Amino acid sequence: MKRKTSVAGSFYPEESAELLRYFEHFSASYDEDSTLVKIKSRVVIAPHAGYIYSGYTANVAYRVLQKSGVKKFVVIGPSHRVAFLGISLCDFDSYETPFGDIKADKNMAQKLQDRFSLGCVSGAHFEHSTEVQFPFIKHYIADVQIVELVYSRMDASELSKIIEFILEQEDFGVIISTDLSHFYTLEDANKLDNICLSAIEQLDIKMLHNGCEACGEIGIEAVLLSAKKLKMKSHILDYRTSADASGDEKRVVGYVSACFYE
């Protein structure tokens, strides 16, 4: 069973040649930055809006993952279309992208299903929060394999247990998908998003719940819990808003990428 694309042509180009131009543009700007992070990381937070808005921010995270040497990842994102209890894992053989299919890691999928009793909510996997990560993964990481997890209503501590189990396997990484505040003025968005950024930098759960607004807040909290337990450090890679691309400062969405390392 293949996980077909559901937002190609809207959130990102469906033609590989056009998509490649996006990545070349993002990386040209990235390579001009003299403060590029040298951290080796296999755990990142990345945004999931349309590439014209959040693509550069996400691209920074994948340039970091490209250096990790890791070839297997679990992609974790919030459900925007379907409400349910818990987290969904479907038995896909592959994941479709404009660059070709990504092979599923069936072994890890089975381990997660068995250990955490994960079921499949098929409608939840027409989901952009995870899907927009796939072209980045396919482009930057050769011979990669992935598993897609989509969560809805659940406790962050339960998701954190899953993250920790994944990270026990040294050849696996984790990608947490989230956007930040939605539809505030630029000034208000920056204030709210700075709470999220500070919470991520300081691995501070209390601060996260003191004003941070993020559609993937459960994922953020879960990875912060895991990072604290595993004595990892964090680093903000990039932050910007939709206003950087659109010029509209009245209805702004915030985006962050970050990495975690030992």
As a whole number, mean pLDDT of residues 151-170 equals 97
3-state secondary structure of 181: coil
For residue 226, how far is the Cα from the chain centroid? 16
30-39 confidence digits (pLDDT tens): 776 656 678 8
Mean pLDDT of the chain: 96
The pLDDT value given to residue 33: 63
Q: Is pTM, for the whole model, over 0.95?
A: yes
Q: Dihedral sign, CA of 54, 2, 13, 67?
A: positive
Q: Where are the domains of the chain?
A: 2-261
pLDDT digits (tens, 9 = 90+) for 180-195: 999 999 999 999 999 9
DSSP three-state, residue 69 = coil
What residues form DSSP beta bridges with 235? 259
Homologous superfamily assigned to 2-261: LigB-like (3.40.830.10)
Taking only the tens place, the pLDDT of each residue in 11-62 is 999 999 999 999 999 998 877 665 667 889 999 999 999 999 999 999 999 9
Res 87 pLDDT > 90: yes
